[in-house]
Structure 1
Amino acid sequence: MLNKMKLWKNQKTSSTLRDKIEQIKSRPVPEHVAIIMDGNGRWAKKRALPRIAGHHEGMKVVRKTTMLANDLGIKTLTLYAFSTENWKRPKNEVDYIMKLPEEFLDTFLPELVDNNVRVKMMGYKDQLPKHTLRAIEQAMEQTKHNDGLILNFALNYGSRAEILDAVKLVLNDYKDGNLNENDINEEVFSSYLMTSEFADPDLLIRTSGEIRLSNFMLWQLAYSEFWFTEVLWPDFREEHLIEAIEVYQNRQRRFGGI
């Protein structure tokens, strides 16, 4: 009897979620959603677990969030997985985080392929362990022909370093005569950033109650809508993403105009 009640409840929840998805898709959906996945360590601490347990649980949320974003018709989902500053964390935690892409993609890659999801990465590859980079590059290779949702991992990424590197590239092209001073504008400068192939994020989500950007896409987020939640990343559910998009759909974006 209990199993039947649980099944009925799951079916009802699933039906409600489908209805919500269709309702959201009837209005303009953000083309690019970026998420600062924060709160894994605090989630674990609240349960007297090691911090790595929170990162493992957070990995499961990545899967659910990706599938829902794909269902909603979002074109790009950028996930802030590891910043250039995160190397300061304890070595055992960093080592564990660097194993997660391999573990995640080993189990999740077939589903990404089946659902036409394309894996991309932005960040500094040189510092990444070989096994981490190998897992990411293998996923990118196996999904390169997919033309659905782009799942973009920001891994060993820092926006200030990205902007400085872009400035250096602009200067080099100027010195080499490939770029005229009068040609340099926002659109041209954006083409030198790691996100050159993506539209700027329409919506930024940050979990855990922190209200800051933490060196994440400082240039690209200039006119993005922000949505902050107290929910820790391992507790982030489909309804939270839906709520964030509903809030986005009810905002009026003026981009500095009236």
Structure 2
Amino acid sequence: MASRLTITIRNLLLSVLAAGPIPKHVAFVMDGNRRYARSRRLEVKEGHWEGFNALKRVLEICLRLGIKCVTTYAFSIENFKRPKEEVDALMELAEQKLLELCQKGSLLDEHGVRLNVLGRTELFPQSLQNVIKQAEEMTRHNDRAILNLCMPYTSRDEISTAVEKTVQQALDSEYPVQWYVCEITEKTIEANLSTSLAGSPPLDILIRTSGVRRLSDFLLWQCCEDTQLHFTSTYWPDFGLFDFVPIILDYQAKVWKNGQVSVS
């Protein structure tokens, strides 16, 4: 457990950071669980369990800073191609931890966080689908912050689904239009993205851990304008406040330099 001095220093640091401009929406590619496990001669599933602990730790930091929306890449559609044993372990972890995350007195309950699970949830086992619905329902009335878990998700799937919804809305409208005058714009597509439907503000910062410098089909639309990208060599299970501080300071420096006003 952290010492009293460590907790005091952490709280002081958070208070100082919170006095400056704070991003409204931060996203994480939680990468490095498997390499973390291998580096410590642990089973892969133990790396994923430690990754969940890191999620709770980082989410608390974000909420203490006043960040209103956190989006995480929890499981890619492509991850179904991983070994069955690893996929099954991830499904088990999700079932066990989702409800724990949302229960009365939990972090989400304390901070009034609404949970949204974004992606093709119909690809999950029925038992996990049921847990997801229950977890989302438990936080449905929370309105102070948002946690988006993208699982199973890819950005290309999100964008293509948004286009399909846009077209279907035009076909289902009270005044049907011919296909050749059905206008699909950036605005109509953006309105049907998973994050928009979940009530998320524009993305300010995207962080990827573990030293890999690519987006891996995550929030490609959302981060194409004004989003700051940060890549850190720290494995996700090790990511914490002192990895986050330089990123927040960099964001604040750019806000002040550009003369922007941060509204909490």
TM-score, length-scaled by structure 1: 0.89
For 2:148 and 2:88, locate their aligned partners in 1 and report how far apart those are by CA, in whole Å: 21
Residue 65 of structure 1 aligns with an amino acid whose one-letter code is V
The residue number in structure 2 matching 1:117 is 113
The residue number in structure 2 matching 1:185 is 185
The residue number in structure 2 matching 1:13 is 6
Structure 2 SS opposite 1:120: strand
Select the residue among 243, 247, 251 that pairs with 1:244.
247
| 1:67 correspondence with 2:60 | yes
Matches within 5 A, 1:74-223: 74-110=67-103, 111=106, 112-176=108-172, 177=175, 181=181, 184-196=184-196, 197-223=199-225
Shift of 1:173: 3.2
The residue number in structure 1 matching 2:262 is none
Are the counterparts in 2 of residues 124 and 156 from structure 1 also a CA contact under 8 Å? yes
Bigger shift: residues 70-79 or 178-187:
178-187
For 1:175 and 1:145, locate their aligned partners in 2 and report how far apart those are by CA, in whole Å: 32
Structure 2 SS opposite 1:70: helix
For 1:242 and 1:132, locate their aligned partners in 2 and report how far apart those are by CA, in whole Å: 35
Are residues 126 and 107 of structure 1, via their aligned partners in 2, closer, same or farther at CA, if it must alter by over 3 Å? Answer: closer
Are residues 125 and 11 of structure 1, via their aligned partners in 2, closer, same or farther at CA, if it must alter by over 3 Å? Answer: same
Gaps of 5+ in 2: 259-264
Select the residue among 40, 58, 67 that pairs with 1:47.
40
For 1:170 and 1:142, locate their aligned partners in 2 and report how far apart those are by CA, in whole Å: 30
For 1:171 and 1:182, locate their aligned partners in 2 and report how far apart those are by CA, in whole Å: 8
| 1:227 correspondence with 2:223 | no
For 1:243 and 1:133, locate their aligned partners in 2 and report how far apart those are by CA, in whole Å: 38
The residue number in structure 2 matching 1:25 is 18
Structure 2 SS opposite 1:157: coil
Are residues 178 and 22 of structure 1, via their aligned partners in 2, closer, same or farther at CA, if it must alter by over 3 Å? Answer: farther
1:169-227 CA distance string (max 9 Å, x none): 22333445567958643222201111112122100010000000000011011121011
Residue 189 of structure 1 aligns with an amino acid whose one-letter code is I
Are residues 80 and 248 of structure 1, via their aligned partners in 2, closer, same or farther at CA, if it must alter by over 3 Å? Answer: same
TM-score, length-scaled by structure 2: 0.87
Are residues 179 and 27 of structure 1, via their aligned partners in 2, closer, same or farther at CA, if it must alter by over 3 Å? Answer: farther
Residue 218 of structure 1 aligns with an amino acid whose one-letter code is L
For 1:149 and 1:60, locate their aligned partners in 2 and report how far apart those are by CA, in whole Å: 20
Structure 2 SS opposite 1:251: helix
Shift of 1:242: 2.6
Residue 31 of structure 2 aligns with an amino acid whose one-letter code is D
- Identical amino acids, percent of aligned pairs: 37
For 1:131 and 1:117, locate their aligned partners in 2 and report how far apart those are by CA, in whole Å: 24
Gaps of 5+ in 1: 1-6
For 2:219 and 2:111, locate their aligned partners in 1 and report how far apart those are by CA, in whole Å: 27
Are the counterparts in 1 of residues 159 and 189 from structure 2 also a CA contact under 8 Å? no
Structure 1 SS opposite 2:74: strand
For 1:12 and 1:54, locate their aligned partners in 2 and report how far apart those are by CA, in whole Å: 29
Bigger shift: residues 95-104 or 70-79:
95-104
CA RMSD of aligned residues (A): 2.1
Equivalent residues, number: 247
Residue 47 of structure 1 aligns with an amino acid whose one-letter code is R
Are the counterparts in 1 of residues 20 and 252 from structure 2 also a CA contact under 8 Å? yes
Bigger shift: residues 62-71 or 244-253:
244-253
Shift of 1:46: 0.8
Shift of 1:152: 0.8
Residue 147 of structure 2 aligns with an amino acid whose one-letter code is L
For 2:76 and 2:98, locate their aligned partners in 1 and report how far apart those are by CA, in whole Å: 20
